[in-house]
Amino acid sequence: MSDTDGKKPLGLRGRPGGGNVKQSFSHGRTKNVVVETKRKRVVVPKSGAAGKSGGGTAGGDPSRRPAGISDAEMERRLKALQAAKANEEAEAKQRAADERQREEERERRRAEAEAKEREEREREEAIRAKEAEEKRKREEASKPKPAPAPEAVPGQPEEPRGAGKPSSAPRKVERDRGNDRDDRGNRKGGGDAAGRRAGKLTVNQALSGRDGGRHRSVAAMKRKQERMRQKAMGGAQEREKIVRDVQVPETIMVSELANRMAERVADVVKSLMKMGMMVTQNQSIDADTAELIVEEFGHRIQRVSDADVEQVITGVEDSDQDLRPRPPVITIMGHVDHGKTSLLDAIRNANVTAGEAGGITQHIGAYQVKTDSGALLSFLDTPGHAAFTSMRSRGAQVTDIVVLVVAADDSVMPQTIEAINHAKAAEVPMIVAINKCDKPEANPDKVRTELLQHEVIVEKMSGDVQDVEVSAVTGKGLDELLEAIALQAEILELKANPDRAASGAVIEAQLDVGRGPVATVLVQNGTLRQGDIFVVGEQWGKVRALVNDKGDRVKEAGPSVPVEVLGLNGTPEAGDVLNVVETEAQAREIAEYREQAAKDKRAAAGAATTLDQLLAKAKADETVAELPILVKTDVQGSSEAIIQAMEKIGNDEVRVRVLHSGVGAITETDIGLAEASGAPVIGFNVRANAPARSSANQKGVEIRYYSVIYDLVDDVKAAASGLLSAEVRENFIGYAEIKEVFKVSGVGKVAGCLVTEGVARREAGVRLLRDNVVIHEGTLKTLKRFKDEVKEVQSGQECGMAFENYEDIRPGDVIEIFEREEVERKLD
């Protein structure tokens, strides 16, 4: 301050007009200072300048500075002024903000009240709907012009004021406009009032005008109210929902799903838990579950079932002119022992001997025969329903016609019915082959009548299902059967385009010692050629050779032709679909993608444990012990046979569970899975590859090799038996009767007994029976013969007994003495 004081006289000197002047500031504040005239004159404008363009220049301009004021003083004054100004501004802002808030609150209340009123009015209006509509029509007809007016002034806050006049139609437009602005205002944080006013006024209009015309639904009003409430609460704008299109593949990791929805992982996990799915963010869930979650979060799901990589094999519809007739594919079904295999062999052999010399038949899972009339028929050489259903369940609809074999000496049996149901479910036409008609006791008509009960009405019973009496043994009726099939095929008009990249289904696949993985593929469309690059299930390859059902090498195979395909990189599974693709890279990419997808799916299946499942499992765990195993086999058939055999092992307490089964060598993946579940790996006619062997050694996973199913079953049975809890058997070893009861100090009550039967043993268990009712079970504290503690007392002898922790004994009670024995059990 001393500095300032010292300079003031200088200022007085320089400016004689100085004196004691009352300074007044813009907001009513006054101040008496000596040099105020100068300050007022010079500084204030400067501060104004400083306010506009920053204090730096104002303070540093000595030419406009009053004499006698130092730089420092100047700066202080400037700062003081700026601060005052800033204060004023802040105050003004605050006031404005408060005012705005108050107004918003008022608006909100008004809107709410109006909305309520409006709801009531709408109800009234609904009653007068007819009348109102007519009125509106009249009004609209008479005042069509004002309609575009509001459109001309979009976004103007004044617009609603003008809306006092217009008719109902523009009012609606305005309302919507107001709304729009509201939304926009929401995001920008400004223009709210205008938007609201627009909305409000029109609502007023709607209420007072009773135009009866178009008005907003209650839901729309509620939405608006909600928006306002959110606005009033502030900060809600950011949370406004953005609905996203969420792409979901067949399985998706929880964290990835959250990411794609732009939601918090924790929230997603929470909603999964609410659904009973106990998962962590790193677990995968399937698309169905994901869909529920996506919907819950209000997004739209886009399921991408096939990944982009697969798209190269989809699409391309065949045009009608490209389609050529193709042979039908036939599956023979029927009850066990009704002659399916015999019939298949008979058809094949009759044909082979007729056509080929030598007739060496090779079973590749399917074969083709030619009827006398020249029609080609493709038979699937895997009788039974398992093959049919497993193919179908894998999405390979291969069969065109089912031949239902029913033995004439046995008629309709359970599996016959099953076969009928399968064929019906697959919507595949049936032909009934009544077999074993050579037998004297054969009664084909009985078969026909019984089939009626299962809604199979054969032609002889005036139905439309063809029936043929055959004998696989004598060959009777076989040609007739083939013709019947050819006829049925004609009706079906089966067609395919031989001039396109082949696609087909794997009928059978195996790991051949000499030839590597081999798959029998039934070409379904297109033509498969040597050198073609293909993907089949999770495997891929390049056709090295094609072998037909007669064992001949062929260069190509067209629609409905079964061929063995060599050149695979791994063994696919029956039912897998083969597709020819253009490049090796594509094939590999698709195969890899599928392998990963399958892995994910398995993981998801494991992870997707609902609470119910967990509970069920916990319950089951109490009673049923499970022996998990992994089975790898050389061919699909043995795999199925083993699974069936395994399912049969076990009872209510022990069960064998085949965790995974597949065709081909035992791989590291198998070992990994086995380790995770503590399961042994069983190789049936296959071996573990080197990495799998070392991995198994490392992880302590047991690998067992078998080539005879019975050995395998016996071993698994023995292992499963080990899981059976030992049975506890009770053997009664004696009875004693209490004659007297003594009190012995230090011991308590002692029973003077006579062993009436068997022996009494010190270590045995005892039960106290009174009137043949068990009143206590426990052990003995003492067993005395005269004064001595003994181990055993024989029948007919007297002894003293005292119970451990039990005193209530009376003369006449009977003591039952028993021993427990643990007996190991075996599965039968």
Alpha-carbon span 625 to 653, nearest angstrom? 6
> Least distance to ligand GDP from the beta carbon of 601, Å?
35
Which one-letter DSSP state was computed for residue 310? G
> Least distance to ligand GDP from the beta carbon of 553, Å?
30
Contact 818, 732 (CB under 8 A): yes
Of residues 325, 318, 472, the one with CA closest to residue 407 = 472
Which one-letter DSSP state was computed for residue 39? I
Of residues 784, 764, 763, 778, the one with CA closest to residue 809 = 778
Contact 86, 175 (CB under 8 A): no
> Least distance to ligand GDP from the beta carbon of 703, Å?
34
Q: Smaller CB distance to ligand GDP: residue 118 or 338?
A: 338
What are the φ and ψ backbone dihedral angles of 806, each rounded to 5 degrees?
A: -150, 130
Contact 381, 341 (CB under 8 A): no
Q: Smaller CB distance to ligand GDP: residue 197 or 338?
A: 338
Type of residue found at 451: L
Q: Smaller CB distance to ligand GDP: residue 380 or 671?
A: 380
Q: Smaller CB distance to ligand GDP: residue 81 or 437?
A: 437
Q: Smaller CB distance to ligand GDP: residue 339 or 567?
A: 339
> Least distance to ligand GDP from the beta carbon of 354, Å?
19
Q: Smaller CB distance to ligand GDP: residue 172 or 338?
A: 338
Contact 150, 170 (CB under 8 A): yes
> Least distance to ligand GDP from the beta carbon of 443, Å?
14
Residue 26: CA count within 13 A, CB half-sphere: 11
Quote the strand ranges of 669-789, DSSP E: 681-684, 703-706, 727-744, 748-761, 765-770, 773-785, 788-789
DSSP assignments along 345-373, one per residue: HHHHHHHHHHH-SS-----SSEEEEE-TT
> Least distance to ligand GDP from the beta carbon of 405, Å?
6
The dihedral formed by the CA atoms of 633, 639, 643 and 645, expressed in degrees to the nearest 10: -90
Q: Smaller CB distance to ligand GDP: residue 294 or 407?
A: 407
Type of residue found at 316: V
Distance of CA 1 to the CA centre of its chain: 80
Q: Smaller CB distance to ligand GDP: residue 413 or 733?
A: 413
Alpha-carbon span 715 to 698, nearest angstrom? 24
Q: Smaller CB distance to ligand GDP: residue 342 or 609?
A: 342
> Least distance to ligand GDP from the beta carbon of 663, Å?
23
Task: Report which residue's Cβ sits closest to ligand GDP.
Answer: 339
> Least distance to ligand GDP from the beta carbon of 437, Å?
7
Q: Token match 């024995």: residue?
A: 821
> Least distance to ligand GDP from the beta carbon of 407, Å?
7
Residue 319: CA count within 13 A, CB half-sphere: 1
> Least distance to ligand GDP from the beta carbon of 381, Å?
11
Of residues 815, 809, 803, 814, the one with CA closest to residue 747 = 803
Q: Smaller CB distance to ligand GDP: residue 199 or 339?
A: 339
Task: Decide: residue 457, CB within 10 A, 0-12 exposed, 13-18 middle, 19+ buried.
Answer: middle
Q: Smaller CB distance to ligand GDP: residue 275 or 473?
A: 473
Please report how the helices 71-127 and 44-53 are oriented relative to each other, as an axis angle in degrees rounded to 10: 60
Q: Smaller CB distance to ligand GDP: residue 419 or 688?
A: 419
CA 498-500-506 angle, 5° bins: 80
> Least distance to ligand GDP from the beta carbon of 444, Å?
12
> Least distance to ligand GDP from the beta carbon of 472, Å?
4
> Least distance to ligand GDP from the beta carbon of 348, Å?
12
Alpha-carbon span 687 to 705, nearest angstrom? 7
Q: Smaller CB distance to ligand GDP: residue 210 or 476?
A: 476
Alpha-carbon span 637 to 516, nearest angstrom? 18
SS (H, E, C) 583-621: CHHHHHHHHHHHHHHHHHHHHHHHHCCEHHHHHHHHHHH
Binding residues for ligand GDP, rule: CB under 6 A, are 334, 336-342, 383, 435-436, 438-439, 471-473
